[in-house]
Structure 1
Amino acid sequence: MAHEHHHHGHGHGRHHGHEHGDGYDLTEMLLLDAEVTATHLAAFTGRIAELAGEAAVRRVVDLGSGTGTGAFALLRRFPGAVVTAIDTDEGMLRHLTESAARHGVADRVRPLHADAGGGLPETGEADLVWASSSMHHMSDPDRVLADIHAVLRPGGLLAMIEMESMPRFLPDDIGIGAPGLEARCHALADAAKAEHLPHMGSDWPARLRAAGFTVLDSRDLVVDLAPPLPAPAVRYAVATLKRFRAAVAERLSAEDRETLDTLLAKDEHVLRHLPGLSVHSTRSAWIATPA
């Protein structure tokens, strides 16, 4: 649930175009992520409704809206709500707006092109702020949390999801000469994230408390799909591993690059028919209210 992500942020420079030179489409990946995690998202928004009351949520701010996964889930959950969808990527906002029109909810979505990392734009008072895989991209997340605290009405809610690492798909024995290709890819990605995304893996409950929030609900959203995978999950694996190929290929060994290229060559035929292809992903989620 983008979400990103992987996880993945949208209101703060997470996107730099939809299509990358190595062939992965970020929009497609986010849409597939939404499909794979739909039941978890429904359960989480259900818990938000239990805490807030459906009738109490009318004004929603989606901080890093991306393709609109969170916005549309909240519009379904709260029939009287209007969502202000904030993102730095104009292409993502166009996609969201077009999707809203197709689903007959264009009048309930207000797209807003802005960088929340530089200060939350004027949205008016909110009943609910949604931040999925976006907070770790902020240059100053404590300032953003303070801004959210200020915009929420008394008793309003902040719903926040963070995915600390990319999902895993491959059997451990994959790799030419040395098994563990995916683990090596993750190690390279983690090193890059430590340099460029220093807030990833933060103690978010502590930061929420420091910003004046009380955490009402804390949970892990675990996706664990065993083979054989349904078609959307296979496409999700393909799209995500293409992203990995684009991000870490230059730092991989020649043997690991060859393995990835083999898996993703010829319309990904090898990967799509790989025995043991699975999906494993964990996200942390919190629901908090101004203390």
Structure 2
Amino acid sequence: MTKHAGHGSHHDTAHARHDRPAHGPHHDTTDLDWDVMGPILERNAELSSPQYQEAARWIAGLPNAPRVRRVLDIGSGPGVIACLLAAAFPEAEVVAVDSTPALLDRARARSARLGLGDRVRTLHAELPDELAKLGDADLIWAGNALHHMGDQRAVLAGFAGLLRPGGTVALVEGGLPPRQLPRDIGFGRPGLEARLDAVTADWFEEMRASLPDARRETEDWSALFTAVGLAPQGTRTFLLDLPAPLSDQARDHVVAEFAQRRDMLADALTADDLAVIDRLLDPDDPAGLHHRPDVFLLTARTVHLARRA
């Protein structure tokens, strides 16, 4: 299991925006070129850093927040969020947990560059099978990782068992699909992104059904927290609102997202929508993503908190 840092709604898992190629024990990632994918994941997570910094400040400022001495970043990817958590909780050791050695290498290199090498360490683990390997924690950050587990209730119960008294689980799940273009872009049928969302939702259901021990759950996270003995502590949603015109970094992110969605969803899209996406991806087309002035980036990530008594 890898959380690809950059986390948002489950719609995000269909593309490597953030940031993340969706994979885990049920996905074959042996053919991925991590020398290429790693920098993309890192760049996209950096783009989303303001959301995570705000979320971390919220957690740290809770009236009943415990002293945070050890943090588990579940599915850490290249370590962007792990380093942010280390900055937000200066007394804590942060453990970046992932199943991809190349991404853990990037996490170690990043923490060393930022002078956090003595406080951010990495742990290779396949979840949920190796939950017991993680050790206890005051804060467990699980960013778009839980939905890669077949039995989400059982994994939450496992998290609860790792928490020290007063410890917190921060679950990043839900939010809203990203928006990057106007509804009518001047060619093709209006509403392209809404249709992509619908196809992505079908993809997500197929992905969930294919997981080992897959179990359907109502996505009432407060109820699931309660069911595993944790006390819900609130939910907040954090926006990333980058209006047009975009920076080169943000524009590259949007282009990469559309390219990944085209690759993953091509068989489910109409010929007309594929033709529109191909035109959007054409670097020589003045109406494409590389040049059009109306490209923006709006995402919403939702964080659910629960506490062990």
TM-score using structure 2 length: 0.82
User: What one-letter code is carried by the residue in structure 2 that aligns with 1:282?
Assistant: A
Runs (5+) with no aligned partner, structure 2: 14-19, 210-215
Q: Specify which of 154, 158, 182 is matched with residue 193 of structure 2.
A: 182
Q: CA RMSD in A?
A: 2.9
Residues 123, 35 of structure 1: alpha-carbon distance in 2 compared, 3 angstrom cutoff: closer
Aligned partners of 2:97 and 2:123 also within 8 Å: yes
- The one-letter code sitting in structure 2 at the alignment partner of 1:140 is D
Aligned AA (2:140):
V
In the alignment, what sits opposite 1:171?
Answer: 182
Following the alignment from structure 1 to structure 2, what is the Cα–Cα distance between the partners of residues 62 and 96?
Answer: 11
Quick check: which one's helix share is greater?
Answer: 1
- Larger mean Cα displacement after TM superposition, 262-271 or 281-290: 262-271
Aligned pairs for 1:150-229 within 5 A: 150-163=161-174, 166-174=177-185, 176-197=187-208, 202-229=219-246
Give me the whole-angstrom Cα distance separating, in 2, the residues matched to 1:240 and 1:201: 28
Q: CA deviation at 1:37?
A: 2.5
Residue 212 of structure 2 corresponds to none
Cα 1:220–1:128 shift into 2, 3 Å: same
Q: Give the distance between the partners of 1:281 and 1:230, measured in 2 at CA.
A: 16
SS at match of 2:179: coil
Counterpart of 2:229 in structure 1: which amino acid?
G
Give the 3-state SS of the residue equivalent to 1:285 in structure 2: strand
* Contact 1:88/1:114 (<8 A) preserved: yes
Distance 1:76 1:194 in 2: 36
Q: What is the CA-CA distance between 1:224 and the residue it aligns to?
A: 2.9
Determine if contact 2:229/2:308 at 8 Å carries over to the other structure: yes
Contact map agreement 1:11 1:86 (CA 8 A) in 2? no
Match of 1:4 in 2: 7
Aligned-residue offset at 1:276: 2.1
Deviation digits for residues 206-249 of structure 1, max 9, x if unmatched? Answer: 11111111111211112233222233321221121121111112
Between stretches 26-35 and 245-254, larger displacement belongs to: 26-35
Distance 1:52 1:70 in 2: 23
Deviation at 1:52, TM superposition (A): 7.5
Distance in 2 between the 1:255 and 1:242 partners? 16
Query: What is the Cα deviation at residue 176 of structure 1?
Result: 4.7
Secondary structure at the counterpart of residue 116 of structure 1: coil
Q: Which residue number corresponds to residue 298 of structure 2?
A: 280
Measure, in 2, the Cα distance between the counterparts of 1:28 and 1:177.
33
TM-score norm. by structure 1 comes to: 0.87
Comparing 188-197 with 176-185, greater Cα deviation is found at 176-185
Separation of aligned partners in 2, 1:18 and 1:98 = 23
CA 10–113 in structure 1, closer or farther in 2 if over 3 Å, else same: farther
Which residue type is aligned with residue 117 of structure 1? Answer: P
Q: How far apart are the structure 2 equivalents of 1:231 and 1:54?
A: 38
